[in-house]
Structure 1
Amino acid sequence: MAIHRSDSGRAPDTRELAKLARSARQGDTEAFLELIESLKGALYRTARTILRNDEDCADALQDTIVGAYQAIRSLREPAHVQTWLYRILINACNTILQKRQRQSLPGTLPEPAADSPVYQDVELREAIDRLEEPLRLVVVLVYLEDMRIADAAAILGISEGAAKMRLKRSKAQLRSWLAPADMGRERSS
């Protein structure tokens, strides 16, 4: 049962993911690998949003896969496997960020984000990358990963209302950055 992102970029069907999770929970390694394969692009993009560094993303994904494989039998609700995996990933990313902060020297600049095929518009990508992490992460989960607000909120460990507020603040910030500078002057002419 092969499931992958469709050509439209839509996420895999949650029923199929739950079916794979149930099989993986019962010890089916192939089902676990297929589950990871179907979500690896979305997991990578989320890690990239948080870490902004390919090497760290690879470490976070590896930690996520190993951690999920070791804990798959403890997954209580297979229907929520995607949320469960994102939570593991975000925890792995936060651990890497904490290590990075302890190792970084004062005054060092963060690495610039590399081009990503997820963003078609360079200006939009740069604007999204400039958002503070809590705002950036909710934008990526809801708009780029096509997740329901409730699911994104669960992954981030916040209320649905807080997720909606972050989206509203993100949109306002993005509009202000992306609005043409001379828009007001054109109207007055």
Structure 2
Amino acid sequence: MKFVQQDMELEVKRAQRGDREAFIRLFRRLEPELYSLAKSIVGRDEDCADAFQETTLKAYKSMSTLRKPKYFKTWVIRILINECNQLLRMRKRTVVMAELPEIAETDRSAPYYEDSRRLDLREAVENLDESLRIVIHLFYYQDLPIKQIASVLDISDGAVRARLHRARGILADEVKQIRKGELAYESM
């Protein structure tokens, strides 16, 4: 269940006044979204845990510097992205893509077929260039508006729109290729 904006702002104000439990509640609510974002950037669970831990610590220590409680989520996402990028730089490696489990193509029953399609789309998103993948993740999985994404990534609104447009085009091509493969498979 997502935080209602007013509830989150009240929790942020409590946390800024030193209420540790309020801070813990905030992070517990955001943890699934933050972990998912970290996973899309760094790939490995160990790295996600490290980035999340560092983000939590930095956010806790810096709560008093947050001027507008309504931007708490955006602020934390920016910290997380910076931590993920720092991990990648420190370890001097490229992003490792999470491997999706192999699914046998024997049964085309509706629930199985839909799961397979979701995995295909998820895999296509994970294979996007990092700058496109992050924008897609923030827009579709985190439900952030374009202005907040621009703020988090420190780019213009137009750049966010351009990346979304480019990523959607790539994903549309991927879906077409997947569907062509399904048609070829079905006709055999």
TM-score normalised by L of structure 1: 0.82
Aligned to 2:128: 131
Residues 110 and 42 of structure 1: CA distance in aligned 2, closer, same or farther (over 3 Å)? closer
For residues 41-63 of structure 1, what are the alpha-carbon distances to aligned partners after superposition, in whole Å with 9 as ceiling and x for unaligned? Answer: 11001100100110000000000
1:85 matched to 2:76? The reply is yes
Answer yes or no: is the 8 Å Cα contact 2:132–2:163 preserved in 1: yes
**Residues 133-142 or 11-20, more deviating:** 11-20
Give the deviation of 1:70 after TM superposition.
0.6
Answer yes or no: is the 8 Å Cα contact 2:42–2:96 preserved in 1: no
Answer yes or no: is the 8 Å Cα contact 2:139–2:149 preserved in 1: yes
TM-score normalised by L of structure 2: 0.82
Give the deviation of 1:163 after TM superposition.
0.5
Residues 24 and 115 of structure 1: CA distance in aligned 2, closer, same or farther (over 3 Å)? farther
Residue 65 of structure 1 aligns with an amino acid whose one-letter code is: T
For residues 4-62 of structure 1, what are the alpha-carbon distances to aligned partners after superposition, in whole Å with 9 as ceiling and x for unaligned? Answer: x2xxxxx3222211111111001110110001011001100110010011000000000
Aligned to 1:8: none
Give the deviation of 1:112 after TM superposition.
3.9
How many pairs align? 166
Q: Return the structure number with greater helix share.
A: 2
Alignment of 1:126-165 (within 5 A): 126-165=123-162
1:58 matched to 2:43? The reply is no
Give the deviation of 1:181 after TM superposition.
3.4
Q: Distance in 1 between matches of 2:52 and 2:40?
A: 13
**Runs (5+) with no aligned partner, structure 1:** 6-10
Answer yes or no: is the 8 Å Cα contact 2:15–2:22 preserved in 1: yes
